[in-house]
Amino acid sequence: MNHAIADHATGSVPTGRARARHRLIPVRLMPANRQRSQAGHYAWWVRALAMFAYGWAFLGWLNDAWLFQFGNPLWLNRYTEPVIILAFGLWRIRAEKNPYTRKRLLILVTNVTVLWWLIPWAWPFIEPHMGYLAGLPAFPSLHTPGTVTFLLVLGGVFLFGRRVICGWNCPCVGIRETVCFAFRHADPVPRSDRAWRLRHIKWIGFALYLGAIWAVTRPANNITTGYLGFFAMIVVLPYFAIMLLSPWIGNRDYCRFLCPYGATFGLLNKVGMFRIDYDAKKCIQCGKCAKVCDMNIPVWQMGLANQGRAGSIPPNAWGVAAASPNVPATAWPSTTCATCCNPACGRTGPIRNVARTGIKLPCAGVSPAISF
Amino acid sequence: MRIAGTLLVVALLWPWLAWAGLDPDAKGVGENADLWRPDPMHEYWDPGNLHRPETERVKGLFQGEACLECHRVVTPGIVKEWRTSRHALTKEPVLCPACHGEDHQKLSFPGPQTCGNCHPKRLAQMEEEKHYGFPSHALAMERAVDSKHFADKPKAEVAACLQCHSVASKCDSCHTRHRFDAAEARRPEACITCHSGPPHPDDEAFFASAHGQLYRQEGKRWDWSKPLAKGNYPAPTCAYCHMKDGNHQVADKAVWKFGIREINPQSAENLIKRKRWQVTCADCHPPEVGMEFFKKLDAERTQSWRQLYAVERLLKNLRSDGLLSPSAKERPPYPIDWLAKLFPKERIGFYEGQASAFYNVSAIERDYFELWYFFNLGAYKGMAHGAKELSEQFHERMGVQVEAIRNEAERLRGQTGAKKDLKPLWMEGDYTKFNLDYN
């Protein structure tokens, strides 16, 4: 009998040799909370390797933009990051036991590899764009206001919800879910009222980003080019720096607190065709959804509030539900949700991503916190 | 008698002949509009913003033939030019009012928008260039008038800037009026009017190259009425490569950005631009020739930047040891640069903005500026235009200059205690105040 299943059956935590064997032999369909490939369970050298790979990916960007050494080879240019994401992604997909997370990783890594590496690498082309970018946007200019990719993503988020990018396609999430997974702590996400309120910091970034959108509509001059350079630094430097804090302040630290793009998508989520829905009938009040959310959204509490049900708000409810029990359904989720949903309660989970308008969209049926 | 008669006529007609011209209270344009006043000539350089039609001499509406009646006497040169132009020789001639308007009191100097009424494709191409950032023809005017030194420097020192930077605001920089000849703009001389001199010796580079040699020997016999397309010319001129098929969007292959800062020739954007170069070179050369050429250019640039960065470090070390004299604290900042007033700092290298702080600096900083802006750009221009010998000449000059800067640095380091003051260029006082008040 397979060792791991035996472990599961007896409920004991494998130690020593058995534990080592778990790392080597993946065990399919092991429940999410029992698998060995959980954050915070890795040996120091695995963490060191992950950190090294992350630093290397960063160095690739740095070389592409600043250092110009070695003639920009694949092992040290802008495509180094997706290559490393692919390498670590294969390992993560193989090691991940939860079918939902596994599926998400598979899609995420495929998207990053194909869209953000293979296509621009094999067929480089300049994207059509609006405005004056003071340079040519080579595909993919995901983060450059006014390019086709940028506008398609905005449109996609409006039509199909935030999953078209966050959690399923974003290279920034990609590297966090694969390379940086190993050096996360088990649950590094700060879950407190204060941490929940801190999500509003991102609106500062959002304001700066509106400024960038204004700047690209003007022909380049000292002010606009200076501003765009400043904006790029404001986005890029904290992004790479804050990653190093992720073991302590959470995997989605940047997405939660700073990401100006995420803030836009959040606003689109409020008016877009999809919303996160909570099926009270299915909820068994275990509260796991809130406990595993990387974005620290009080999922369960908000769900209860929206259903108008008198639920017992647990002591660690981080404020929102208790403070505003009558949050209208359209206001949920908050602008924070990246719809990546860590699996919490199996296939019958009550949290779903559903079409808001009643219009049947092709993906509405499969949508999902989908099929978890 | 004849002279006296002429003088009498001139004296009587003087007010009539005087150009009404620019409003004496006219403000500048751009970010620092309040800080400089345009000269009368500026209405030619930026007619869209600064032209004021004269309203005193002639009143009334005029159609084409009526304009010619007077102007073949008053301004015979331009009428003669126009008569030889395609505008005059077509079945339906494009007469004066088409571009200048009918009302003599509201005449305009045509800008790109005027020409774009009939040549929309060319105008669109030129406008598209704004998408590519600097350096740019289409953004040249803003680039000049928005820079701090344009508003701050003594008027006489910036008088010539707009002569070239007006390429953004009028088409006759390359197709001179009133013939507006496409063939004229195909010849390298059209570009050389501006693309010459220390920071961009494109003329030297082109004429030193094999392409330029061929042009010099045979150019007179080429048929310049042909479009810039494969097979039409035995050797390329500026416009052939940079404005292929007459494309007025000149920045779509600009990889090196004039050579004033190091760039990554292998970035996603630049690889795409390189491909465009390869296609252009392949009009005459096998593809691998182009590739080989890029490799050599890359190597030349890498070497130059290594040299330049070494000198930059040397200067920054001098700065941290307080050996630059006069230091930023001792010399006045640009009057309108509030940041430099609060935090005076010697700017060294592109990323600190030295390119816009090249005057009123210590001698060694100016030496570096010349090394970087003149000799380095010459070396780059030579290499990029296939004039290897010229590039080598500039490299020799770079070597000499680097040596001179090193010696100077050693001298500065040798002076312990009593810092021997280098001659300051100018200090805050009457002179700067004058500039501030009279620009």
The pLDDT tens digits of the residues spanning B130-187 come to 988 888 999 999 999 998 888 887 787 888 899 999 999 999 999 999 999 999 999 9
Which helix H or strand E contains A277, and what residues bound it? strand A274-278
Task: Give the per-residue pLDDT at A356.
Answer: 62
Q: What does residue B10 show for φ and ψ, rounded to 5 degrees?
A: -60, -45
The span from the CA of A103 to the CA of A37, in Å, is 15
Task: Give the per-residue pLDDT at A294.
Answer: 81
**Residue bearing tokens 């009270």:** A280
Task: Give the per-residue pLDDT at A23.
Answer: 47
Is the pLDDT reported for residue A113 higher than 90? yes
Q: Is B233 helix (H, G, I), strand (E, B) or coil?
A: coil
Task: Give the per-residue pLDDT at A6.
Answer: 39
Average confidence score pLDDT of chain B: 88
Distance from CA of B299 to the nearest CA of A (A): 10
Is B322 domain-assigned? yes
Give the nearest chain A residue to B276 (CA atoms).
Answer: A125
User: How large is the average pLDDT for residues B237-265?
Assistant: 92
Contacts of B67 (CB under 8 A, 6+ apart): B95, B96, B97
Q: In this complex, do B264 and A68 lie within 8 Å of one another by their Cβ atoms?
A: yes
List the domain boundaries for chain A: 44-274, 275-355
Q: In this complex, do B146 and A221 lie within 8 Å of one another by their Cβ atoms?
A: yes
**Band of residue A25 on the pLDDT scale cut at 50, 70, 90:** very low
Residues B110-122: tens digit of each pLDDT: 999 999 999 999 9
Q: In this complex, do B131 and A133 lie within 8 Å of one another by their Cβ atoms?
A: yes
**Band of residue A159 on the pLDDT scale cut at 50, 70, 90:** confident
Is B424 domain-assigned? yes
Is B427 domain-assigned? yes
Record the tokens describing residue B259, joined without a space. Answer: 């050579």
**Band of residue B84 on the pLDDT scale cut at 50, 70, 90:** very high
Task: Give the per-residue pLDDT at A331.
Answer: 34
Task: Give the per-residue pLDDT at A39.
Answer: 73
Residues B407-424: tens digit of each pLDDT: 999 988 887 655 555 555
Distance from CA of B294 to the nearest CA of A (A): 12
Is B315 domain-assigned? yes
Q: Which residue has the higher pLDDT, A41 or A352?
A: A41
Q: What is the DSSP string of B236-268?
A: --HHHHHTGGG-S-TTTT--SGGGSS---TTSH
Is the pLDDT reported for residue B254 higher than 80? yes
User: How large is the average pLDDT for residues A89-115?
Assistant: 89
Structural domains counted in chain B: 1
Task: Give the per-residue pLDDT at A10.
Answer: 42
Is B372 domain-assigned? yes
Residues A29-68: tens digit of each pLDDT: 445 555 556 677 788 899 899 999 999 999 999 999 999 9
**Band of residue A307 on the pLDDT scale cut at 50, 70, 90:** low
Percent of chain B's residues with pLDDT above 70: 90
Q: Which residue range(s) make up the domain with B376?
A: 309-438
Contacts of residue A124 in chain B, CB cutoff 8 Å? 268, 271-272, 275
Alpha helices in B93-134 (DSSP H): 96-100, 112-116, 120-128
Task: Give the per-residue pLDDT at B149.
Answer: 83
Is the pLDDT reported for residue A324 higher than 60? no
Candidate ranges A315-319, B43-47, B385-389; pick with highest mean pLDDT: B385-389
Interface of A with B (CB under 8 A): 64-65, 68, 71-72, 77-78, 120, 124-126, 129, 131-139, 219-223, 225
User: How large is the average pLDDT for residues A118-129?
Assistant: 94
Task: Give the per-residue pLDDT at A369.
Answer: 36
Residues A193-215: tens digit of each pLDDT: 888 888 889 999 899 999 999 99
User: How large is the average pLDDT for residues B85-97?
Assistant: 94
